[in-house]
Amino acid sequence: MKKLLMTLIGTIILTSACGTTEDEVDEPQTGEDIEQNEEEIANTSDEEVLYDASSAEAVYIGRCSGCHGQDLGGRSGGPGIIGLSKEEVLSAIEEGPGIMPKNVITGEEAENVAAWVADQQ
Ligand code: HEC
């Protein structure tokens, strides 16, 4: 019984592995496909600058402004954080440089606030 089960599982793994390879190798790209891909790429980069400003601002005021100032210009607690990229802001949130606490916010909330901060001038 156990052996039968193992064989079954083995078969399923093998079959799905083959399926993946075929999908990747088959079908040369048509012009239409390539166009579609380009559109997808364009969309992805657009998404990176999109954020929910009102939610980001509310979180920033609640969790960050005490140290970085309501206008992001810095206060006694922390430096100004204007002119940084989204990646720089995200990594600061994750790493917590110096006395800044790690992961004050995480996940989508962190992404959203980072995108918003990076877009402030
Ligand atoms: C308890 C105070 C405190 C809080 C709360 C805090 N920070 Fe900081 N943050 C600091 C300090 C202090 C530094 C500078 C650390 C160092 O480099 O020594 C810093 C550094 C940073 C940097 C890097 C600045 C640079 O020039 O590289 C960014 C970006 C940043 N914080 C964003 C945030 C965001 C976004 C939040 C809210 C989610 C936040 N911080 C919450 C104190 C704080």
Per-residue pLDDT tens digits for 19-76: 444 455 555 666 666 565 555 544 454 444 689 999 999 999 999 999 999 999 999 9
- Which three-class secondary structure string do you get for 35-69? HHHHHHHHHHHHHHHCCCHHHHHHHHHHHCHHHHC
Model-level pTM?
A: 0.71
Task: Tell me phi and psi for residue 101, to 5 degrees.
Answer: -65, 145
112 CB-near residues (< 8 Å, 6+ apart): 51, 52, 55, 56, 59
**Domain 53-119, what architecture?**
Orthogonal Bundle (1.10)
Q: Ligand 1, closest atom to CA 105?
A: 38
Nearest CA to ligand 1 atom 2: 67
Tokens coding 86: 């989204």
Whole-number Å distance, alpha carbon 59 to ligand 1 midpoint, is 14
User: Residue 49: its pLDDT value, please?
Assistant: 63
User: Residue 50: its pLDDT value, please?
Assistant: 87
Nearest CA to ligand 1 atom 21: 92
User: Residue 47: its pLDDT value, please?
Assistant: 45
